[in-house]
Amino acid sequence: MDLNNLKPAEGAVHKEGKRVGRGEGSGKGGTSTRGHKGAKSRSGYSKKIGFEGGQMPLQRRVPKFGFKNINRKEYKGVNLGKLQELVEKGAVKGEVTLDTLIDNGLAHKNDLVKILGDGELKASLKISVHKFTASAKAAIEAAGGEAINL
């Protein structure tokens, strides 16, 4: 180790940021590196999201399209095959209600439930949910069950 290769330990020296607005002699006085006039030179300036310097912003140039029905109802679909799996596991005996589906993780408490006709139902079940497809209702009644709308 010699005097020509002495240096402080790693992380011991922190480089200070530029000190602006501390007089003309510092080289960064006057406008404090902000330039002259304009929004960015003022205190309290913050650019709005999507601002393009006065040019018409993209979200206003691009046309809106489509239709959102505010009265739309979203239904959680449950297939007949899933109900048959529950019967085979022994989770369901003869009656399927909304609470049964919630307990088995097929729906949440605020969901509207619709039974769909995919899969095969062999067990005779009394099912009471919000909606049924025509094929599901036919399959349930063919298996000797009952479909009840809530």
Q: Output the pLDDT for position 86.
A: 93
Q: 62 in a domain, yes or no? A: no
Measure the CA–CA gap between 78 and 122, rounded to whole angstroms.
16
In angstroms, how far is the first alpha carbon of the chain from the final one? 87
pTM more than 0.85: no
Q: Output the pLDDT for position 85.
A: 93
Q: Output the pLDDT for position 94.
A: 87
Q: 110 in a domain, yes or no? A: yes
Q: Output the pLDDT for position 75.
A: 97
Q: Output the pLDDT for position 15.
A: 87
* Cβ atoms of 122 and 143 closer than 8 Å: yes
Q: 125 in a domain, yes or no? A: yes
- Alpha-carbon separation of residue 39 from 32, 61, 88, 98, 135 (angstroms): 14, 24, 70, 59, 65
Strands (E), the chain: 75-79, 95-96, 112-116, 126-129, 131-132, 146-149
Measure the CA–CA gap between 103 and 65, rounded to whole angstroms.
41
Q: What is the mean pLDDT of each run of 10 residues along the chain (150 residues)?
A: 91 90 92 92 92 93 93 96 93 91 94 95 94 96 94
**88: domain range?**
76-149
Q: Output the pLDDT for position 56.
A: 95
Q: Output the pLDDT for position 93.
A: 87
Task: Give tens-digit pLDDT for 115-141.
Answer: 999 999 999 999 999 999 999 999 999
Q: Output the pLDDT for position 146.
A: 94
Q: 138 in a domain, yes or no? A: yes
Q: 32 in a domain, yes or no? A: no
Q: 21 in a domain, yes or no? A: no
By the 10 Å C-beta count (0-12 exposed, 13-18 middle, 19+ buried), 29 is classed as middle
Q: 16 in a domain, yes or no? A: no
Q: Output the pLDDT for position 112.
A: 96
Split into its structural domains, the chain has a count of 1
For residue 142, give the CATH number of its domain: 3.100.10.10
